[in-house]
Amino acid sequence: MPSRPTEVIVRCEDLQQHVFIYRCLVAKGFRGHAIQIKHSPAGDATRYVLDQYPAQVKALRRVPHVCKAVISIVDADKATVQARKREHDDALTNSGLTPRANAERIAILIPRRNIETWVHHLDGKTVDENGKYPRFRGEERKCAPAAQEFARRCPNDMRDEDLPSLHDGCKELQRIAK
């Protein structure tokens, strides 16, 4: 398998996740023009991402010789990270596809409780994964330093005190950023 995807397809819930993952991927060395991100236009954002996921995986599998990757991002909200990942597996099997294999360049990032939890944590604030933290509505770009910090830490500088879902997100990101 090639060492780095030349194209990354991302589906996420909202503009905050969009900005966060874009800044993170650019900090990881991906070219901005190779990152294609779409977030939910309105309505149930989690449903949007889960509905998009099988089509993106199918497209990835259709051209295994092309170095592409898929990233899906949904907030855990009140669910667990594992429950959200099971929803992704179910979306594939309900579409007649097999669950993702370990070698596939498919990453599922699940911030718990939401992406703002990661942002505030990476900005040095004390947070827990059950609390609600302020959004950056209209100022989504303010998450750029946190996204760059995540890219810097992952994988070799993750800290014991980093949030469990952030550790999981790092492992997921390594599926595509080898």
Range of the domain at 77: 7-174
pLDDT in tens, 72-104: 999 999 999 999 999 999 999 999 999 999 999
Q: What is the pLDDT of residue 5?
A: 74
Give me the CATH number covering residue 20: 3.40.50
Please spell the DSSP secondary structure of 21-37, one letter per residue.
HHHHHHHTT--GGGEEE
Q: Would 16 be classed as within a structural domain?
A: yes
Q: Would 28 be classed as within a structural domain?
A: yes
Please spell the DSSP secondary structure of 128-171, one letter per residue.
-TTS-----TT-GGGGHHHHHHHHHHTTTT--TTS-HHHHHHHH
Q: Would 95 be classed as within a structural domain?
A: yes
How many structural domains compose the chain?
A: 1
Q: Would 79 be classed as within a structural domain?
A: yes
pTM of the shown model: 0.95
pLDDT in tens, 119-147: 999 999 999 999 999 999 999 999 999 99
Q: Are 177 and 10 in contact (CB under 8 A)?
A: no
